């Protein structure tokens, strides 16, 4: 968005520089593989990876795998959001409840979620439920904390004014709390999206739940290095696409918010 304020010619130069940067990196990888700096069996030239990627993209299986990974991702985040946002609002508005639960939150939040993989496998098996549970647990915390911060950060003057004018509770919520906490919750969801993808891929890699991660392992054990790299590239593109989507939606929906406007004006 930064480029949106610069005049058109500068934007074109920027685009040129970006393309040049990408091309340089790709060329370096291509050369290391072609000259044998990295053994070719382990690291094929990047052009071959993209050829393989192109072939995969026209086949059905790749999209099925992506769909499997994304379904765990979506279910997990959805579940976490449904639980964390109301709880966060409750804890953010009620100081007593916040103090009561603070220690539990502070202790559970830094627990590395991947440590729960074995437990999740025991209880839920290796399917979609396991993935959903893991992702929901891991993404619950960032969403909860961001919601609490957002609600606690509501301008007290605005709240007091509303109370003085006798605004009913529901109106205070929809008119003041919800709008001012919304950007925080959006950030929480964006953070959650990245975490969820990492966990989905991890669960598929480690446990063998069906999805992109498992496909990567299968390609690796089948000594199909080119396909493995193509799939890794897919994973990166997927993460990038999800992140961009969230950023785009955030900008659109929260255009009115000062934080967003500040970012655009920079």
Identify residues 215-234 at the interface with other proteins (CB under 8 A): 216-217, 219-220, 225, 228-229, 231-232
85, 91, 128, 199: which one binds other proteins (CB under 8 A): 199
Q: Give the range of 45-53, 79-87, 162-170, 196-204 binding other proteins by CB under 8 A.
A: 196-204
CB nearer other proteins, residue 89 or residue 212: 212
7, 58, 60, 104: which one binds other proteins (CB under 8 A): 104
Check binding of 111 to other proteins (CB under 8 A).
Answer: yes
Check binding of 29 to other proteins (CB under 8 A).
Answer: no
Q: How far is the CB of 153 from other proteins (least distance, A)?
A: 10
Instruction: Record the tokens describing residue 70, joined without a space.
Output: 């994304």
CB nearer other proteins, residue 43 or residue 173: 43
Q: How far is the CB of 236 from other proteins (least distance, A)?
A: 3
The span from the first CA to the last CA of the chain, in angstroms, equals 9
122, 164, 170, 258: which one binds other proteins (CB under 8 A): 122
At residue 35, φ and ψ (nearest 5 deg) are -85, -5
Check binding of 264 to other proteins (CB under 8 A).
Answer: no
108, 159, 167, 178: which one binds other proteins (CB under 8 A): 108
Q: Whole-angstrom Cα distance, residue 172 to residue 163?
A: 8
46, 91, 113, 211: which one binds other proteins (CB under 8 A): 113
Contact 251, 1 (CB under 8 A): yes
Length of the chain: 266
Q: Whole-angstrom Cα distance, residue 96 to residue 183?
A: 25
Check binding of 102 to other proteins (CB under 8 A).
Answer: yes
Q: Which 69-88 positions form the footprint of other proteins (CB under 8 A)? A: none
Q: Determine the distance from the C-alpha atom of residue 53 to the mean position of all C-alpha atoms in its chain, rounded to a whole number.
A: 23
Size of the site for other proteins (CB under 8 A): 71
27, 63, 109, 255: which one binds other proteins (CB under 8 A): 109
Check binding of 141 to other proteins (CB under 8 A).
Answer: yes
Check binding of 42 to other proteins (CB under 8 A).
Answer: yes
159, 178, 205, 254: which one binds other proteins (CB under 8 A): 205
Max CA distance (Å), the chain: 76
Q: How far is the CB of 166 from other proteins (least distance, A)?
A: 30
Q: Whole-angstrom Cα distance, residue 100 to residue 93?
A: 13
What track of x and - describes contact with other proteins for positions 160 through 189 (by CB under 8 A)?
---------------------------x--
Contacts of 145 (CB under 8 A, 6+ apart): 88, 105, 109, 188
């Amino acid at each position: 968005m930064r480029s949106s304020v610069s005049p058109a010619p500068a934007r074109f130069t920027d685009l040129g520089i970006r393309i040049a940067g990408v091309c340089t990196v790709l060329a370096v990888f291509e050369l290391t593989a072609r000259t044998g700096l990295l053994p070719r069996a382990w690291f094929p030239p990047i052009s071959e990876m993209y050829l393989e990627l192109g072939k995969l993209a026209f086949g059905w299986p790749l999209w099925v795998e992506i769909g499997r990974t994304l379904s765990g991702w979506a279910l997990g985040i959805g579940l976490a959001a449904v639980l964390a946002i109301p709880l966060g609002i409750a804890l953010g508005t009620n100081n007593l409840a916040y103090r009561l639960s603070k220690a539990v939150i502070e202790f559970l939040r830094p627990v590395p979620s991947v440590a729960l993989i074995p437990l999740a496998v025991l209880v839920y098996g290796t399917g979609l439920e396991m993935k959903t549970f893991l992702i929901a647990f891991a993404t619950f915390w960032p969403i909860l904390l961001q919601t609490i911060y957002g609600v606690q950060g509501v301008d007290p003057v605005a709240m007091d004014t509303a109370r003085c004018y006798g605004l009913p509770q529901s109106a205070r919520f929809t008119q003041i709390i919800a709008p001012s906490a919304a950007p925080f919750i959006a950030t929480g969801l964006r953070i959650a999206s990245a975490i969820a993808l990492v966990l989905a891929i991890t669960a598929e890699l480690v446990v063998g739940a069906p999805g992109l991660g498992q496909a990567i392992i299968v390609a690796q054990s089948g000594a199909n290095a080119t396909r493995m790299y193509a799939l890794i590239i897919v994973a990166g593109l997927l993460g990038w696409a999800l992140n961009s989507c969230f950023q785009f939606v955030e900008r659109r929906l929260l255009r009115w918010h000062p934080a967003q406007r500040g970012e655009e004006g920079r």
